[in-house]
Amino acid sequence: MSRDPGRILIFDTTLRDGEQSPGASLNLEEKLAIAQQLARLGVDIIEAGFPFASPGDFKAVNKIANVVGGENGPIICGLARASKNDIKACFEAVSPAPKKRIHTFIATSDIHLKHKLRKSRKDVLSIVPDMVTYAKSFVEDVEFSCEDASRSEPEFLYEVIKLAISAGATTINIPDTVGFSTPSEFGSLINDINKNVPNIDEAVISVHGHNDLGLAVANFLEAVKNGARQLECTINGIGERAGNASLEELVMALHVRKSLFNTYFKRDPESPTPLTAVRTKEITKTSRLVSNLTGMNVQPNKAIVGANAFAHESGIHQDGVLKNRLTYEIIDAKTVGLNDNKISLGKLSGRSAVRARLEEMGYDLSREDLNDAFARFKDLADRKREITDRDLEAIVSEQVQLPESKFQLIHVQVSCGSSSKPTATVTLLDTDTNNEKTAVAIGTGPVDAVCEALNVLAKVPNELIEFSVKSVTEGIDALGEVTIRIRNNNKIYSGHSADTDVVVAAANAFVNALNRLVFSEKKNSIHPQFDNLDNTEKKVFLNSKK
């Protein structure tokens, strides 16, 4: 059987695969904020990005390796295709981290070999050991992935894995790249790998899976039963297409059903030792941070972190819970960090009190970011009597958004009513030219009028495809969180903002989305799932083993 670390290693790929969700592109500061929270959450490995994809991604991975990587922190990992350029760039990006990993991959299914790589099985069998050896020359910790493993011919898959381990791979990742597998099939695949790869005991088996059929978490739990000891997952299950296996669902399934899974680790069923190193009380905070920064709202009925996950509407359920919570609840909400903490902060509170509370909540802000957060806190305190932890979370999440801002909202004013046409007056600053311009527009409603005015000023072609608003907390004076998603050239960009005035929040969210659109056009990104290489890169890739 494969090398067993005695527990489940949590490999978080929110910053790599999760960022591939349409509209979820993150900047450096946002990635760093999420990485710091992932470290507080207690994940074992952070896949910080795909360094060769763009200078921006390289810089983000390098910054995370510098700031988040530590002797007692998580392993910092970067993704690389099986080519020398990718692998070298990956090493240079993760090199500042004391604990670093290169994660290299190549497809092994016939459909990928024929239509994507245009390579034979013989080509792959030659490339794999050479590229794993090359990665091993930089770091001790090398992970190798057989892309589309769940649709690969088993005997060929075993041979590829054997060669990768012989070349020095310490982790072998088995991806269900297109979410094709079912639990019984995926469990059998892991079991067969354990039986048919002679040197599998020299590596940890990892699994990566997508949720196209809604089976990713079930597939992973079955894989654990059959010897998988690393789970590659994302916060809120975000990622390509229907997303990845959800970290919070996997961790809590292993937590709640520990007595069941203990037996697969040769433990006493009632052993209290956790199966993962995740600090479950950080789950809710992490979920909210990722949701805010990516602009991807969590559906209310989402397991563990959805707004309704611990709500009871049925009278029968309510009666049962009042008598004994165990009648209808299998998880104590406090276990995942869900509480109704309120703080005694108001408009007379000082900077030190706000900083102390933020530190208690796990936020470590720079002096400049603290100043900005405190200014927003004071502004909010003038409009809202009672400040909650959720209000502070909303404030802080905006502090790390979009420093590369071409546009800044200076002024927004709307006029609307039952007998008047909604009209918006908006002033926008173009930071490239330092010029302020004002436009007036009429819309079907106040938010539509604001967006029309912003489009007149920004002159950036786009299509508004989603507008959503929700309350941060209860009460008539609650902050309203607005998420806007726009489309340009078949790419989606999201913006997020919070304010007691939802029109102002909508204006800021739309400007944030426009800034993401403008910034994304400046970088040349390579998608990890597609080898869109130019002729020079193709030549390097084909000859990389020489």
Give 7's strand partners.
none
CA separation for the pair 380, 413 (Å, rounded): 18
Beta bridge partners of 342: 388
User: Residues near 332 by Cβ (< 8 Å), separated by ≥ 6?
Assistant: 325
pLDDT of residue 516: 85
Q: What percent of the chain has pLDDT over 70?
A: 86
What's the pLDDT band for 518 if we cut at 50, 70, 90?
confident
DSSP state of 72: T
CATH number of the domain within which 443 lies = 3.30.160.270
Chain-centre distance for alpha carbon 12? 8
Give me the pLDDT at residue 191, please.
98
Instruction: Note whether residue 351 is domain-resident.
Output: no
- pLDDT tens string 175-192: 999 999 999 999 999 999
Task: Please give the average per-residue pLDDT across 11-38, as a whole number.
Answer: 89
Per the CB < 8 A criterion, the answer to whether 440 and 462 are in contact is: no
529 belongs to a structural domain: no
- Which sign does the torsion angle of CA 516, 518, 519, 523 carry? positive
State how far the Cα of 459 lies from the Cα of 539, in Å rounded to an integer: 40
User: In angstroms, rounded to a whole number, what is the distance separating the alpha carbons of residues 379 and 387?
Assistant: 11
Question: pLDDT: is 409 or 343 the higher one?
Answer: 409
Q: Residue 368: inside a domain, yes or no? A: no
CA nearest 353: which of 380, 361, 474, 40? 361
Q: Is residue 255 over pLDDT 90? A: yes
| Number of other residues whose CB lies within 10 A of the CB of residue 122 | 8
Dist. CA 401–CA 367, nearest whole Å: 16
Report yes or no on 379 lying in a domain. no
Q: Are 28 and 404 in contact (CB under 8 A)?
A: no
Q: Are residues 428 and 285 in the same domain?
A: no
Residue 514 domain flag: yes
Q: Report if residue 334 sits inside a domain.
A: no
In the numeric block, the tokens 């002679």 are attached to 198
Instruction: Classify residue 342: in a domain, yes or no.
Output: no
Q: Is residue 85 part of a domain?
A: yes
Cα Dmax for the chain: 78
pLDDT digits (tens, 9 = 90+) for 430-449: 999 999 999 999 999 999 99
Entry pTM:
0.82
Between 38 and 71, the higher pLDDT residue: 38
Domain boundary, last residue among 294, 313, 331: 294
491-499, strands of its sheet edge to edge:
463-471, 480-488, 491-499
Same structural domain, 286 and 415: no
Give the CA dihedral 257, 262, 268, 271, nearest 10 degrees.
-60
- Burial of 329 (C-beta count, 10 Å sphere; 0-12/13-18/19+): middle
Pick from 294, 320, 348: which residue ends a domain? 294
Select from 294, 316, 340 the last residue of a domain: 294
- Residue 113 and residue 251 share a domain: yes
Evaluate whether 509 touches 484 at the Cβ level (below 8 Å): yes
CATH for 116: 3.20.20.70
> Which domain does 501 fall in, by range?
407-520
Average pLDDT value for residue range 6-30: 89
Distance CA 238, CA 443 (A): 33
Given a contact cutoff of 8 angstroms between Cβ atoms, the answer to whether 75 and 44 are in contact is: yes
- 22 with 147, same domain: the answer is yes
Please compute the mean of the pLDDT values over residues 134-160 and round it to a whole number: 97
Name the β-bridge partners of 497: 482
Residues 395/380, Cβ–Cβ less than 8 Å: yes
Element (H, E) at 81: strand 75-81
pLDDT averaged over every residue in the chain: 87
Tally of domains within the chain: 2
In the predicted model, is pLDDT for residue 337 greater than 70? yes
The mean pLDDT value for 200-228 works out to: 97
CA dihedral 184, 300, 484, 211 (to 10 degrees): 0
Could you tell me if 63 and 28 are in contact, meaning their C-beta atoms sit under 8 angstroms apart? yes
Rounded mean pLDDT, 464-493: 83
Contacts of 72 (CB under 8 A, 6+ apart): none
Long-range contacts of 375-382 (CB under 8 A, 24+ apart): 377/345, 377/349, 378/347, 380/479, 380/500, 381/345, 381/346, 381/347, 381/349, 382/347
